[in-house]
Amino acid sequence: MKPPPLDIVTPSSLAEALSLLSAHGDEARPLAGGQSLVPLLNFRLSRPSLLVDLNRIADLAYIKDGGDHLAIGGMTRERAIEDSDLVRKEVPLLQEATTQIAHLPIRSRGTIGGSLANADPAAEYPAVVLALECELVAQSVRGERQIKAADFFEDVLTTALAPDELLTEVIVPKAPSGSGSAFVEIARRHGDFALAGVAAQITFSTGTPTDVRLAVCGAGTTATRLTVAEEIILQDGVGAEAIKAASDAAAQAVDPMSDLHASAEYRRRLVGVMTGKAIEKAARRAGVGV
């Protein structure tokens, strides 16, 4: 239960970090908050020979108001996001999801970029960036590119990032006026990985949904959008029958795995229930009765 022999370099600038990752290739791994990577090292499930510690790069941790969006630096701590008045006001879904990540002492160090780049299927942030249609900024010595959240998550713990790329910024569109959101998850104990979680971001115009975003985590190899359920709510509104139909569609859409904590069948049911709850909560918060 100790990390394998390795070395750690602590660059003080992004440029230095990127050239280290470029020079060392697959042998190196970036170390962000370490709340997922260090357990993997302690279990010897990951054995990089070099860690590039990003924690001394001060200009990677920020939450900036970009007008119609927030720009959040990759090394921004989950706790800073949770405590940010700007996030609470402009992107309440992100704030609510953050409070459900693990525990406070984990959120003290865990980062948004680290969680997204790790791409754990049960993690909250992948579902949030899918629902909010965020853009993820990746940098390497080869340059900078923006990756749509929809194109980012490829498989369990696998993303579109190349080994020499760092996720340096998340561009989060502000919630439109007239919208409501909710992040609902169920876990065996608070702080455990979710058995299933659903993010909802729904925009209404005089009580009618005009834009519906639903994303699920914990129920497949990656977080995914629930497009059939979205379409049902968009067409039929947020009455009890439509919500029931959307919940059933969500349960049908996912392909969960069985594990120690829950069977695939049980997870599928949970996705349905969580979808219904998330839609109801989001609608209520937008001032639409359900």
Partner 1 sequence: MKAPRTVSLTVNGETLSGEASPRMLFADFLREVLGKTGTHVGCEHGVCGACTVIVDGVAARSCLMFAIQAEGADVQTVEGLADGDELHPLQKLFSEHRALQCGYCTPGMLMTAIDLVNSSDSLSEQDIKVGMSAALCRCTGYEGIIKAVTAYAEQVHGKPVKQESDNG
What residues between 80 and 139 interact with partner 1 by CB under 8 A? 103-106, 108-109
Residue among 34 and 92 whose Cβ is closer to partner 1: 34
Q: 């629930």: which residue's tokens?
A: 226
Is there binding between residue 25 and partner 1 (CB under 8 A)?
no
Residue among 49 and 210 whose Cβ is closer to partner 1: 49
Q: Cβ(290)–Cβ(193) under 8 Å?
A: no
Residue among 108 and 210 whose Cβ is closer to partner 1: 108
Q: Which among 210, 213, 134, 120 has a CA at the least distance from the CA of 169?
A: 134
Is there binding between residue 284 and partner 1 (CB under 8 A)?
no
What residues between 30 and 69 interact with partner 1 by CB under 8 A? 34-35, 38-39, 42-43, 51, 53, 55
Q: In the complex, what is the shortest distance from the CB of residue 78 to partner 1, in angstroms, rounded to a whole number? A: 11
Residue 93 structure tokens: 């879904």
Residue among 7 and 155 whose Cβ is closer to partner 1: 7
Q: Cβ(131)–Cβ(213) under 8 Å?
A: yes
CA dist., res. 55 & res. 65, Å (int): 23
Is there binding between residue 188 and partner 1 (CB under 8 A)?
no
Q: Cβ(121)–Cβ(216) under 8 Å?
A: no
CA dist., res. 242 & res. 239, Å (int): 5
Q: In the complex, what is the shortest distance from the CB of residue 203 to partner 1, in angstroms, rounded to a whole number? A: 28
Which residues partner with 64 through β-bridges? 71
CA dist., res. 211 & res. 55, Å (int): 38
Name the site residues for partner 1 (rule: CB under 8 A): 1-8, 10, 34-35, 38-39, 42-43, 51, 53, 55, 79, 103-106, 108-109, 189-191
